[in-house]
Amino acid sequence: MIRLFQFAAVSALMLGAAAPSAIGPNARITWVSPTLDVNNNPETLSSMDLAIATSDVDLNVVGSVALRTIKDINPGDGVAGYSAAVLVAGLPNGTYKVWIRAIDLAGNMSVWGSSDAVPVDVTAPKPPSGISCKPN
């Protein structure tokens, strides 16, 4: 079994830090993968699963469903940050939680770890106005 691991909130903010004003497709999701199992033995992970759900959903409750899940992510991607673009694409603006779980070489899965609730803003800004060109 895998030890619950530290999870960083979206846009490289550590869990417990001030929440970002809103995230969008350019956000990066970071995490710290577990290095020890529950018996304090070295842990080798095969992959991670990343999911997004509305802020009122707890993926550790049987029957809960994520809006989108991305499977087989390289555990090392948490260091540089995983792009949120695929995760938030097509979602309406709202408040969500990002979830992640670790999978070891034997196929054991950790429980889901989650970020704090974060607002998602996928609405493009209005174009600039008042543009004029003046001759020299």
Task: Kindly report the CATH number that applies to the domain delimited by 7-120.
Answer: 2.60.40.10
Tokens of 105: 């070489």
> Could you read off the pLDDT of 63-102 as tens digits, one per residue?
999 999 999 988 888 877 888 888 888 899 999 999 999 9
Give percent of the chain with pLDDT exceeding 90. 33
- Take residue 117 and report the two structure tokens written for it: 């609730």
Q: How far apart are CA 131 and CA 78, in angstroms?
A: 42
Residues 59/7, Cβ–Cβ less than 8 Å: no
Per-residue model confidence (pLDDT) at position 82: 87
pTM: 0.75
Confidence of residue 5 (pLDDT cuts 50, 70, 90): very low
53, pLDDT greater than 60 = yes
